[in-house]
Amino acid sequence: MGEIEQFKSILIIGVGLIGGSMGLALKRKGFKGTLIGVDSPEVVERALQKNVIDEGFAREDLQKATTEADLIFISTPIVEILELLQVLGNFVRPGTLITDVGSTKRKIVETANIHLPADCDFIGGHPMAGSELRGVQAADPFLFENTTYVLTPSRPIRESTRKGLGELLELVGAKVLLLSPSLHDEIAAAVSHLPQMASVALMNLAARKQEESPHFLKMAAGGFRDMTRIASSPFGIWEHIRETNADMIAQFIDEYINELKKVRELLNTPELAKYFENAARNRLSIPKDTKGFLRPQFEVSVSVQDKPGMLALITQTLAGENINIKDIEVLKIREDEGGTMRLAFSTKEERETAMVLLKEKGLECNKR
């Protein structure tokens, strides 16, 4: 395993969807060290039952859990990451590598640099993976397959340690991308946070017009539904993103307003056609082989054997019940080992039915 071998004990603080999936992915890939989890007693018990971790500790026993840890993943919401970095700075063992999974990076990195001792390594992290499901019960060993995993190093760190973390993330299937914390937050504001705010604004605009006429939302078809799907995201998820990236979000809202003004100016001119063509051309440049900040909502991962006919079995099984696969992606397939396929459906009901049908064919399925 190369540089990975330096991590003989990995501590996951927050054994939910992301933390739990990391534990399962490492076990699936043959990690030989010890996986330790810290969470509430109930979550720790479920994680042990699901074989996500080897040992578990309650949150009040955090210091005890860190005693032997070579690598610590902080897999909690942003506000808890900030609090934990301050706490860990009081007792973390020298030489320990700490990383996080927060979706904004500047405030987290700043807090780590202030509170973690100089003999402790820190690298900010953000996996471009997730699900509408929550908790360790939704943990998926394939969650990181073919996803972009951003790392934001900001202070001197041992080369062997940085390489070791990169190799570990590649082991679970991720593609590592190095960015500065500031550039990460700028990109996130443009391609993730702005779309969320725009979706919420568009939905509220239509809702106000609905008060004038009951026909507005009745006529809301595919395009409107696609653009406002993420408007249903709970504010609790976005509150801490807003708190730690408000300046970048505001900047891109202003730029978006200016872009909409440009569209308004072009409405009655021949230049509007070129504007459309430019958008369509650049839309095609979005990579198709990696998951971005926004993902299809109703997804399933299907474990497959490395033998002919597996794709046909899946598609024919679903076609027989008139279930349309909205998107299909072959993730990593290794010779003689098999791998996984990602299927996306338009509705939750189609996903549930698809899972029942595929399990009847002996295929292992997990919600994503």
DSSP 92: P
Strand partners, 203: none
User: Could you give the CA distance from residue 114 to residue 155 in angstroms, rounded to a whole number?
Assistant: 11
Least confident range of 10-24, 60-74, 192-206, 346-360: 346-360
Q: Which two tokens stand for residue 118?
A: 């100089």
User: Could you give the CA distance from residue 114 to residue 154 in angstroms, rounded to a whole number?
Assistant: 12
Question: CB within 8 A of 255, min separation 6: which ones?
Answer: none
User: Could you give the CA distance from residue 96 to residue 71 in angstroms, rounded to a whole number?
Assistant: 6
**Cβ atoms within 10 Å of 37's Cβ, excluding its own:** 27
1 closest CA partner among 138, 164, 128:
164
Q: Where in the chain is the domain with CATH 3.40.50.720?
A: 2-179
User: Could you give the CA distance from residue 128 to residue 174 in angstroms, rounded to a whole number?
Assistant: 9
User: Could you give the CA distance from residue 240 to residue 250 in angstroms, rounded to a whole number?
Assistant: 15
Q: Where in the chain is the domain with CATH 1.10.3660.10?
A: 184-270
The answer to whether the Cα torsion of 228, 229, 232, 236 is positive or negative is negative
Q: What is the mean pLDDT of the chain?
A: 90
Kindly report, residue by residue over 23-50, the tens digit of the pLDDT. 999 999 999 899 999 999 999 999 999 9
User: Could you give the CA distance from residue 77 to residue 317 in angstroms, rounded to a whole number?
Assistant: 39
The DSSP code sequence of 101-170 is --S--HHHHHHHHHHS-TTSEEEEEEES---S--SGGG--TTTTTTBEEEEE--S---HHHHHHHHHHHH
Q: Quick one: pLDDT at residue 348?
A: 85
Residue 45 parent element (H or E): helix 41-49
Q: Which CATH superfamily is domain 184-270 in?
A: 6-phosphogluconate dehydrogenase C-terminal like domain (1.10.3660.10)
User: Given pLDDT bands bounded at 50, 70 and 90, which one contains residue 53?
Assistant: very high
47 closest CA partner among 17, 89, 75, 81:
17
**Of 305 and 169, the one with more pLDDT:** 169
Least confident range of 69-78, 130-139, 200-209: 130-139
Q: Quick one: pLDDT at residue 294?
A: 38
User: Given pLDDT bands bounded at 50, 70 and 90, which one contains residue 292?
Assistant: very low
Q: Quick one: pLDDT at residue 218?
A: 87
Q: Quick one: pLDDT at residue 244?
A: 96
Q: Quick one: pLDDT at residue 22?
A: 96
Question: CB within 8 A of 282, min separation 6: which ones?
Answer: none
Kindly report, residue by residue over 182-221, the tens digit of the pLDDT. 999 999 999 999 999 999 999 999 999 999 998 998 888 7
Q: Where in the chain is the domain with CATH 3.30.70.260?
A: 298-367
Q: Quick one: pLDDT at residue 266?
A: 97
Task: Give the three-class secondary structure for 344.
Answer: strand
**Of 278 and 3, the one with more pLDDT:** 278
Q: Which two tokens stand for residue 113?
A: 């640099």
Asked if residue 293 has pLDDT above 50, the reply is: no
The CA R_g of the chain, rounded to the nearest whole Å, is 22
Q: Which CATH superfamily is domain 298-367 in?
A: ACT domain (3.30.70.260)
User: Given pLDDT bands bounded at 50, 70 and 90, which one contains residue 334?
Assistant: low
**Whether 106 contacts 114, CB under 8 Å:** no
The highest-confidence range among 123-132, 194-203, 358-367, by mean pLDDT, is: 194-203
| Percent of all residues in the chain with a pLDDT value above 70, rounded to a whole number | 94
**Of 216 and 326, the one with more pLDDT:** 216
**Whether 5 contacts 70, CB under 8 Å:** no
User: Given pLDDT bands bounded at 50, 70 and 90, which one contains residue 333?
Assistant: low
Residue 74 parent element (H or E): strand 71-74
Architecture of domain 2-179: 3-Layer(aba) Sandwich (3.40)
Long-range contact set of residues 180-185: C-beta below 8 Å, sequence gap at least 24: 180/152, 180/154, 181/105, 181/106, 181/108, 181/109, 181/110, 181/124, 181/152, 181/154, 182/106, 184/104, 184/105, 184/124, 184/126, 184/150, 184/152, 185/104, 185/105, 185/106, 185/244, 185/245, 185/248
